[in-house]
Amino acid sequence: MTPLWRRVVAEGLGTGLLVTVVVGSGIAAAKLSPDDVGLQLLENSFATTLGLAVLILMIGPVSGAHFNPVVSAVDWWLGRGTGSGLSARDLAAYVPVQISGAILGAVLANLMYDEAAVSWSTTERAAGHLWLGEVVATAGLIVLIFALADSGRAALAPAAVGAYIGAAYWFTSSTSFANPAVTIGRAFSDTFAGIAPASIPGFVIAQFVGAAVGMGLLALLYPRAAQAADAVVIPHEVTTGASK
């Protein structure tokens, strides 16, 4: 197993770059395609689909490439009975660094586009139908990740998770944040992908509700998924230099 400090660095870096991809491509899209918000979202989702897949490929062998407190929490929860998956100590280390990384990723995107390092987003995203969108988005993400792990296909997770988020930008009304760390990070940029700080709690709560719904669906579809918690930490079919 890779040492915890290295996994924590990896989670911070990966979550940060994920927010850089989301916020940065959103800034570019809004600047370059000012006349059509749909085209902006198409550009933003194109970049996110590819960028998220690449980041999971890049970081997966080190830390599992969760980039998401909800994914880490579910991994810990499912594996707690069997001693597999993320330990409580790991979880306590992953989550703060995911959040910190997300904030720094937004700052990096702002700086690359010559904006102020921090500008609080003024985009309100608070309504029942948007929270329903987050519940759906997060439930689907949880089912996808643990279904792949349970069926021995964790090597497909990079492309699959990227594709899932790219589609969910479109089919959920909330444009699928599905990630508390990324939600917090996106509050630090008053641009296309931003979310007003006051809208964060509603989104995060909806994401945890979605995670619970996802675990319920997993229990129906993949009754042994709990034993796959290990494969979400680091996909087993990847041979890493670090573990040679």
Smaller CB distance to its own copies: residue 88 or 114? 114
Q: How far is the CB of 130 from its own copies (least distance, A)?
A: 8
Listed in sequence order, the DSSP H helices in the chain are 4-32, 37-63, 69-79, 88-112, 128-150, 157-171, 180-186, 200-221, 229-233
Q: How far is the CB of 235 from its own copies (least distance, A)?
A: 10
Are 170 and 96 contacting, i.e. CB atoms less than 8 angstroms apart? no
Are 56 and 10 contacting, i.e. CB atoms less than 8 angstroms apart? no
Which segments of the chain are extended strands (E)? Answer: none
Smaller CB distance to its own copies: residue 197 or 221? 221
Smaller CB distance to its own copies: residue 6 or 89? 6
Q: How far is the CB of 107 from its own copies (least distance, A)?
A: 11
Smaller CB distance to its own copies: residue 37 or 88? 37
Residues whose CB is less than 8 angstroms from the CB of residue 83 and which lie 6 or more positions away in sequence, other chains included: none
Q: How far is the CB of 201 from its own copies (least distance, A)?
A: 20
